[in-house]
Amino acid sequence: MRQEDAPDVDLENYSGKVPVLGVCYGAQLMAQKNGGNVLPSNIREYGRAKLSKVDQHNDLMKEISIDSQVWMSHADTIAELPDAYELIASTASVRVAAFKKKGEDTYGIQFHPEVTHSLEGKTILRNFVVHICGCAQDWTPDIFVETTVAGLKAQLGDDKVVMGLSGGVDSSVAATLIHHAIGKNLHCIFVDNGLLRKNEFEDVLHSYKDMGLNVKGVDAREQFYEALKGLTDPEDKRKAIGRVFIEVFDAEAHKIQNVKWLGQGTIYPDVIESVSVKGPSATIKSHHNVGGLPDFMKLKVVEPLNTLFKDEVRLVGKTLEIHQNILGRHPFPGPGLGIRILGDITPEKVHILQEVDHIFINGLKKAGLYDDVWQAGAILLPIQSVGVMGDERTYERVVSLRAVTSVDGMTADWCHLPYEFLADVSNEIINTVKGVNRVVYDISSKPPATIEWE
Ligand code: XMP
């Protein structure tokens, strides 16, 4: 806030006219601009804290426990509130944890109600949206489907839309909505980059066709393997995979006449993550350089899910009767197995990893553990180790299994899978996948590790 280019907002436009809730920096900004005092704190608060005082008569703090756990993440602190403001919550070390402007629906909270570690954060947000803003809380997936399909019909008319599908939840739900609105004018493209799971291309393509989507499967495996030959650096591999995807998609999109729109499965967290507070010049890079972009990127973009969170997307998918084998899937990264094969990528390594991954994922499903895990997969390590099979010495590959629990992928814990299950999977892998003689289990959480190894 004391920096020259610190983000600012014209509070006069909102304060007193509509309900305002400032969170963390927003609360500090509000206090500072109205005559309060924000100072670097002696006691930095990061992580869990407990409220020590709560004004439960205040509309924002209704039903919040006196010792409610909240999540703090700030270095500066509000030392003094402006005169017209009243305190509505404190923690032991942060006196101004929440406040209200007297006679106005203007509130500030120093902690983060939006993260799961603020255990009653959702109640605070509901208090604000329902009790203070007066929203009816009448969102249902059925109404969303109805209004979105009607909106898409009006927006797209007889225009054609091209869209890349990944087999994931978001693109599948977005495509189904657009398909409900414009039918065969939606042209879907599903690319086999040679880095998908075992049988994934055929299975997913089959499901899409079953759903009535106008989808074309493109086998581009060779193109991807060729571009990846000899690359070992994770970022180089990611870039190569992204570049070839654009080339393949662009070539396919060109085959469709008179396309006007590009459909995308963007959801609200993607929108938030891509916004920079410093404004368009810092955020938008290639998009402004339209001349150098592939043709499909010059199309107008239609993103029917860009106001929804993942759980809402799943509810919409259920309403649209999308099959559970698509809706219930674990997340899978765009670069696929390419970032789970450490070192260079060859078709032989992809084949080994596909087999290992298949045994692990199928095992989770058979043991009824798949839905308890947020994401799981196998990683092929760039080392070999000595083993013994029968009377023979072996010198073969090592794979690591990774399974995590998480809410949003931003933080994750390793999954405490039963030992017996891990033993069975390990045996099956070593006994049936040629070239692998050792299985290890990754017990790192995020942070400090990440979910993927590259
Ligand atoms: P990390 O490894 O950063 O992963 O903890 C968090 C989540 O993001 C996925 N991930 C990706 N998804 N393209 C994607 O579409 C990528 O390049 C990529 N890298 C990581 C990862 O699978 C996990 O769900």
Per-residue pLDDT of 210-257, as tens digits, reads 999 999 999 999 999 999 999 999 999 999 999 999 999 999 999 999
336 CB within 6 A, ligand 1: no
- Domain presence at residue 366: yes
Q: Choosing from 104, 112, 131, 358, which is the catalytic residue?
A: 112
Known binding residue 167? Answer is: yes
Instruction: Write down which residue in 101, 132, 163 finishes a domain.
Output: 132
Known binding residue 219? Answer is: no
334 CA: nearest ligand 1 atom: 15
Active site residue 24: yes
List the CATH number of the domain containing 297: 3.40.50.620
3-state secondary structure of 297: helix
Residues 58 and 184 in one domain: no
Residues 162 and 246 in one domain: yes
Polymer length of the chain: 454
Do β-strands 85-91 and 98-101 pair in parallel, antiparallel, or remain unpaired? antiparallel
Known binding residue 149? Answer is: no
Q: How far is the CA of 151 from the centre of ligand 1 (A)?
A: 32
329 CB within 6 A, ligand 1: no
Residues 224 and 76 in one domain: no
Minimal-distance CA residue to ligand 1 atom 3: 450
What does the pLDDT read at residue 388? 93
The stretches of 255-335 forming alpha helices (DSSP H) are 268-274, 280-283, 310-319, 324-327
- Domain presence at residue 275: yes
Q: How far is the CA of 272 from the centre of ligand 1 (A)?
A: 16
Residues 161 and 305 in one domain: yes
Residues 150 and 187 in one domain: yes
435 CB within 6 A, ligand 1: no
72 CB within 6 A, ligand 1: no
Do β-strands 412-414 and 392-406 pair in parallel, antiparallel, or remain unpaired? antiparallel
- Cα-atom radius of gyration of the chain, to the nearest Å? 26
Residues 304 and 387 in one domain: no
Minimal-distance CA residue to ligand 1 atom 4: 451
Distance between CA atoms of residues 231 and 339, nearest Å = 12
What does the pLDDT read at residue 288? 38
Known binding residue 311? Answer is: no
Residues 94 and 66 in one domain: yes
Domain range enclosing 418: 340-441
What does the pLDDT read at residue 408? 79
Known binding residue 357? Answer is: no
Minimal-distance CA residue to ligand 1 atom 11: 333
Minimal-distance CA residue to ligand 1 atom 18: 333
Residues 235 and 347 in one domain: no
Minimal-distance CA residue to ligand 1 atom 20: 333
Distance between CA atoms of residues 383 and 361, nearest Å = 23
Residues 153 and 65 in one domain: no
Element (H, E) at 260: strand 259-263
Q: How far is the CA of 74 from the centre of ligand 1 (A)?
A: 26
Q: Choosing from 80, 104, 114, 396, which is the catalytic residue?
A: 114
Residues 250 and 378 in one domain: no
Q: How far is the CA of 144 from the centre of ligand 1 (A)?
A: 28
167 CB within 6 A, ligand 1: no
Active site residue 112: yes
- Beta-carbon neighbour count of residue 422 at 10 Å? 16
What does the pLDDT read at residue 276? 52
What does the pLDDT read at residue 254? 93
Instruction: Provide DSSP, 162-220.
Output: EEEE-SSHHHHHHHHHHHHHHGGGEEEEEEE-S-SPTTHHHHHHHHHHHTT--EEEEE-
Contacts of 247 (CB under 8 A, 6+ apart): 223, 294
Active site residue 135: no
Instruction: Write down which residue in 298, 327, 356 finishes a domain.
Output: 327
168 CB within 6 A, ligand 1: no
Known binding residue 406? Answer is: no
Q: How far is the CA of 149 from the centre of ligand 1 (A)?
A: 30
Structure-token match 């765009």, residue found: 334
Instruction: Write down which residue in 132, 167, 200 finishes a domain.
Output: 132
Structure-token match 């109404």, residue found: 143
Structure-token match 């973009």, residue found: 301
Known binding residue 169? Answer is: yes
269 CB within 6 A, ligand 1: no
452 CA: nearest ligand 1 atom: 2
- Domain presence at residue 333: no
Distance between CA atoms of residues 181 and 191, nearest Å = 24
Residues 183 and 117 in one domain: no
Structure-token match 């923690």, residue found: 91
452 CB within 6 A, ligand 1: yes
List the CATH number of the domain containing 385: 3.30.300.10
- Domain presence at residue 272: yes
Along the chain (454 residues), what's the average pLDDT of each consecutive run of 10 residues?
Answer: 83 93 95 92 78 96 95 87 96 93 96 89 97 94 97 98 95 98 98 97 95 97 98 96 96 95 92 59 37 77 94 95 91 95 98 98 98 97 94 96 90 94 98 97 92 96
Mutate to test the pocket of ligand 1, among 329, 374, 452 (most ligand atoms within 8 A of CB): 452
Minimal-distance CA residue to ligand 1 atom 9: 333
Q: How far is the CA of 221 from the centre of ligand 1 (A)?
A: 21
Distance between CA atoms of residues 102 and 30, nearest Å = 14
- Domain presence at residue 1: no
- Domain presence at residue 222: yes
Distance between CA atoms of residues 116 and 118, nearest Å = 5
Per DSSP, what are the bridge partners of residue 412? 406, 446
221 CB within 6 A, ligand 1: no
Residues 209 and 236 in one domain: yes
CB-count exposure of residue 310 (10 Å: 0-12, 13-18, 19+) = middle
List the CATH number of the domain containing 87: 3.40.50.880
449 CA: nearest ligand 1 atom: 5
Domain count, the chain: 3
